[in-house]
Amino acid sequence: MLKDAIDQLRTAVQLMPDAADAYNNLGIALASQGEIVDAIDQFQQALRLQPTFVDAQRNLAKLRSLRPTSEPPLARGSTPKP
């Protein structure tokens, strides 16, 4: 069901490429599916269109705080590689 909503939101942003709220809603839907990188892209697009869009700013900040780092954490007792 959420996949259908994502498909509809993708259509909405294609039909209304200047609608910041459509990008924000798509980002929310993608984030709920675990598609963090794609969701971040949608929030960034919403903010390019409307830089003062507070909901998109908050959503982007939340996802950036959840975004995994490029390296996994060290296992207990291991040492970093040079």
Which residues form the domain of 31?
2-66
Q: What is the pLDDT of residues 16-33, one digit of tens each?
A: 999 999 999 999 999 999
CATH of the domain at 47: 1.25.40.10
CB 3 within 8 A of CB 36: no
* Structural Rg of the chain based on CA atoms: 16
Residue 22 within any structural domain of the chain:
yes
pLDDT of 69 > 80? The answer is: no
Residue 20 within any structural domain of the chain:
yes
What angle do helix axes 54-66 and 20-32 make, rounded to 10 degrees?
30
Domain count for the chain, please give it: 1
Cα dist from 50 to 44, 46, 56, whole Å: 10, 6, 9
Question: What is the mean predicted confidence (pLDDT) over 10-18?
Answer: 96
CB 47 within 8 A of CB 35: no
Q: What is the pLDDT of residues 38-63, one digit of tens each?
A: 999 999 999 999 999 999 999 999 99
